[in-house]
């Protein structure tokens, strides 16, 4: 999810996830930290035309 206050579809999805299932979207920094704890390195975040993105990671 993009940082800051600019509008983005992922922020609406974040609210939906919170209300419906008690979850939330993660920021790039949070993904990087989460992957590092699992033994991976976040190599690249690929933005798509949809609100979703692709995370590329490799084991370290």
CA–CA distance from 51 to each of 10, 19, 24, 27, 60 (Å)? 6, 18, 14, 13, 29
Instruction: Render pLDDT for 6-26 as a digit per residue (tens, 0 to 9).
Output: 888 888 887 887 888 777 778
With respect to residue 27, please indicate whether it lies within any of the assigned structural domains: yes
Q: Across all residues in the chain, what is the average pLDDT?
A: 89
With respect to residue 38, please indicate whether it lies within any of the assigned structural domains: yes
Which residue segment(s) compose the domain that 52 sits in?
A: 9-59
Count of domains forming the chain: 1
Q: Against a cut of 0.85, is the pTM above it?
A: no
With respect to residue 40, please indicate whether it lies within any of the assigned structural domains: yes
With respect to residue 4, please indicate whether it lies within any of the assigned structural domains: no
pLDDT of residue 42: 98
Dihedral pair phi/psi, residue 30, rounded to 5°: -65, -40
Least confident of 21-25, 26-30, 48-52: 21-25
With respect to residue 53, please indicate whether it lies within any of the assigned structural domains: yes
To which residue do tokens 């033994």 refer? 39
């Amino acid at each position: 999810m993009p940082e800051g206050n600019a509008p983005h579809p992922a922020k609406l999805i974040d609210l939906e996830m919170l209300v419906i299932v008690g979850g939330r979207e993660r920021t790039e920094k949070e993904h990087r930290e989460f992957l590092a704890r699992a033994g991976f390195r976040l190599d690249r975040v690929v933005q798509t035309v949809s609100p979703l993105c692709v995370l590329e990671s490799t084991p370290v």
